[in-house]
Amino acid sequence: MVGTKVTSVAPDSLSLVTDANDNHGIRVGVIGAKGRMGSQVCRAVEAAEGLRLVARYDQGDDLGDLSGADVVVEFSVPDASPANVAYCVARGVHVVVGTTGWDDAKLETLSGQLADAPPSSSGSPVGVLIAPNFAIGAILMMSFAAKAARFYESVEVIELHHPDKVDAPSGTAARTAGLIAAARDGAGAGPVPDATTHDPGGARGARVNGIPVHSVRLRGLVAHQEVLLGNVGEQLSIRHDSFDRVSFMPGVIEGVRRVADHPGLTVGLEHYLGLVET
C-alpha cells in the first residue's frame, strides 16, 4: 500500500514513512541516529536529492537486514564501530564511517573482512570510507599542512573540541599528524626539534608519529584545529573551525554518493575529492 509506515524491527528504532513503490535513489541507513552527529546526518539525508533515508538505529537496536539500505552511515562510539561496520560489510552494504578510533590493527582486520564480503545489491564490490573529518575545510587544512610540512623545521598540532568528546587526540589530529609525518619522511626531514628533558605533567602534549599534538576540551567549542609550522624568522598557521555540525554534512553526503564507486577500504574523504596525487 502506497504511503504505509514501515516500522523498525528494533523496539527503540525510529520509524520512517516510505513509498513502497519508490525504488529510486540511494537507500541510506544511519547507525547512531540519536547522537549529535547521527541526528544531523538523518536530517541531511532527508534533505538531499537522490538519497532516501530507510532506517535509523541506535544503541541496543537490532540491525536486522538493515532495512534494505544500499549505504549505511556509521556514527557510534569507538568500541562499537568495528562490529557495526563488519555487520554491514558481511551483508554486502557499503559503509561511510565517521567514528574515530580506527588504528592500524582494526583497519587491517576490516580489509580482510572486505576481501571476504559478498557483493553489494548492485553486484559491485563493497566499499567502506573511514573519514576522520567530513568538513571540506578540514580536509583542505590537512592537505595544506601535509604540503607545507617538508618546508618547515618545526610543526605542532593543536585540536580543540567540546568536553563531551570521549577520545583524545581527535581522529582529525591523528590523521593530520600522520600525513605530516609521511610528508616529512618523504622529504628526508629530521625529527621535530625539542630540547625538553623534563615534563612530568605532560605539558608538551602527545607524540603522534613523532609530531607533537595538543588536545583542548572546552565548553562552547565544536571542532577546531590549528597546525603551527615554524622556521627561523617565520611562522605559518593553518586553521580550520567548525562552528556547527552542519558543516560536516556536505562531506557526509558526498561520501554516501561516491562510496559505491570506491570498492575496498578508503581512509580519508580527500581520496574522493581529487586531493591525493596518484
- Where in the chain are the domains? 5-130+246-271, 136-243
Tally Cβ neighbours within 10 Å of residue 196.
Answer: 8
What is the predicted pLDDT for the residue at 278? Answer: 52
Please enumerate in sequence order all residues whose Cβ is within 8 A of that of 160, keeping only pairs 6 or more positions apart, or say none.
215, 216, 217, 218, 221, 223, 224, 225, 226
What is the predicted pLDDT for the residue at 6? Answer: 26
What is the predicted pLDDT for the residue at 1? Answer: 26
What gap in Å lies between CA 123 and CA 72, rounded to an integer? 17
- Residue 164, SS3? coil
What is the predicted pLDDT for the residue at 23? Answer: 55
**pLDDT digit string (tens) for the chain, length 278 residues:** 222 222 233 333 333 333 333 456 999 999 999 999 999 999 999 999 999 999 999 998 999 999 999 999 999 999 999 999 999 999 999 999 999 889 899 999 999 999 999 999 999 999 999 998 999 999 999 999 999 999 999 999 999 999 999 889 999 999 999 999 999 999 999 999 999 999 999 999 999 999 999 999 999 999 999 999 999 999 999 999 999 999 999 999 999 999 999 999 999 999 999 887 65
What gap in Å lies between CA 88 and CA 94, rounded to an integer? 7
What is the predicted pLDDT for the residue at 276? Answer: 74
What gap in Å lies between CA 67 and CA 184, rounded to an integer? 46
Class in CATH terms, 5-130+246-271? alpha beta
What is the predicted pLDDT for the residue at 3? Answer: 27
DSSP conformation class of 246: G
CA-wise closest residue to 72 among 86, 11, 269, 60: 86
Q: Is 162 a catalytic residue?
A: no
What gap in Å lies between CA 146 and CA 15, rounded to an integer? 44
Q: Which of 34, 106, 165, 271 is catalytic?
A: 165
CA-wise closest residue to 227 among 157, 153, 163, 135: 157
Please enumerate in sequence order all residues whose Cβ is within 8 A of that of 5, keeping only pairs 6 or more positions apart, or say none.
15, 16, 17
Class in CATH terms, 136-243? alpha beta
55 has which bridge partners?
Answer: 29
Q: Which of 94, 161, 214, 240 is catalytic?
A: 161
* This model's pTM is above 0.95: no
CB 99 within 8 A of CB 81: yes
Block residue for cell numbers 565548553: 219
Q: Is 5 a catalytic residue?
A: no
CB 99 within 8 A of CB 216: no
DSSP conformation class of 198: -
SS3 content of the chain, % helix, strand, coil (to 5): 30, 25, 45
